[in-house]
Structure 1
Amino acid sequence: MIEVGKRLKALRESIGFSQVKMAQALGSTQSSINRYENGQSSPSVELFRRYADYFDVSLDYIFARTDKPQGETYHFKPKAAPEREELRQFIEMCFDPQSPMNEKLKETLFRMMEGES
């Protein structure tokens, strides 16, 4: 929490706010802001959100996961595991090969299954 406290303090100081003024802006108390900045306690999730919204930064920035204030956008794209071959075969079996949409529907399902939509 030391790094988080440093980020919170740096954000506050970047706009020239005292701890009292920051507490007023976030609906907290000066003593709480002091404890957060010194790593003695941790804000609630809601207060972290207020910090992020107030300074227009990402939570990843506040948590020191990135040095870019706008943060990172993570895209989870798992690949189909070999054990999912059974699911692939089931999808193949479910579609009528005579249907004009057969191939498109199958491909869409395969992409969804592999996380590539």
Structure 2
Amino acid sequence: MKEVAERLRSLRESVKLSQVKMAEVVGVKQSSLNRYELNQASPTFETLMRYVDYFDVSLDYLFGRTDNPQGKLFEYRPKIEQSDPEMEKFVEMCFDPKSPMNERLKETLVKMLEEAKQ
């Protein structure tokens, strides 16, 4: 379980969350989270699932079976309906220069690209 403890801590630190905040996210006490990260206790399956959902990683990654956060068998396939009217409206708005959201979308994308470079 040493690998799990290290991965839990590494994931938390990667997003600069304190143990207190991370404990709130996964629904445990800070003292429990501290013991998990020090390999003094084992988190429940539910707690592990909250971690993998929050960080969008696989259990294989969390257990050290792979260094690929998506795991060995992970294959991302977004669940977007082709005929979803809300999605079509959103996409149209993204590419319509007359849209009131156009400038805000551009700024958001630029910011995301800058953050990805860091």
Match of 1:61 in 2: 61
Structure 1 residue runs without a partner (length 5+): 75-117
Per-residue Cα deviation, 1:94-117 (whole angstroms, up to 9, x for no partner): xxxxxxxxxxxxxxxxxxxxxxxx
Say how many residue pairs are matched.
74
Deviation at 1:2, TM superposition (A): 1.1
Per-residue Cα deviation, 1:39-70 (whole angstroms, up to 9, x for no partner): 00100011110000000000000000000000
**One-letter amino acid of the structure 2 residue matched with residue 57 of structure 1:** V
Structure 2 residue runs without a partner (length 5+): 75-118
CA distance in 2, matches of 1:46, 1:25: 12
Match of 2:71 in 1: 71
TM-score, length of structure 2 as denominator length: 0.61
CA RMSD of aligned residues (A): 1.1
**Greater length-normalized contact order (CA 8 Å, ≥ 6 residues apart):** 1
Deviating runs (4+, > 2 A) in structure 1? none
CA distance in 2, matches of 1:41, 1:68: 25
